[in-house]
Structure 1
Amino acid sequence: MPTPRPNGCRHDGIDQRTHGRQWTPEAGWHTWEQPTQEQIKDRMRGRRPGPNAKFCILCLSEEHQHIDDEE
């Protein structure tokens, strides 16, 4: 499962504008709730590329043509 957006719901990570009412085993039926500062920080760190990530030379994403350190 991809890392939720930093400001996604504290219970399920769904964005506020598309959340509506959701159900999770831990929280039951709930509306969007502000994530904790710790959740926001952890989610932001989780979205960072790893130390050995290689990026596309055209769009700086992890897709397309990669730059190899070995060349």
Structure 2
Amino acid sequence: MSGWFRLTLGLLAVVVGALWTVQGLGYVEGSVLTDKRVWAMVGAVLMLAGAVLLWLGARARGRR
């Protein structure tokens, strides 16, 4: 994977993970994910994976 692709996927994962986390914790209403703790955990894991992808993407871009 190229650096830009990793950066894009990482950013998307962090944003979606954050959204799922706040929905799972009940801060955002109007979703089937609202107030379901499992989605808060899934969101946190997704944010962590996104952060790793951002780090890998930044490293790949820095080598060029």
Q: Scaled by the length of structure 2, what TM-score is found?
A: 0.35
Give the number of the structure whose residues are more often strand, by fraction. 1
- Greater RCO (Cα-Cα under 8 Å, separation 6 or more): 2
* Rg larger in structure: 1
Write 1 or 2 for the structure with the bigger share of helix: 2
What TM-score do you get using the length of structure 1 for normalisation? Answer: 0.34
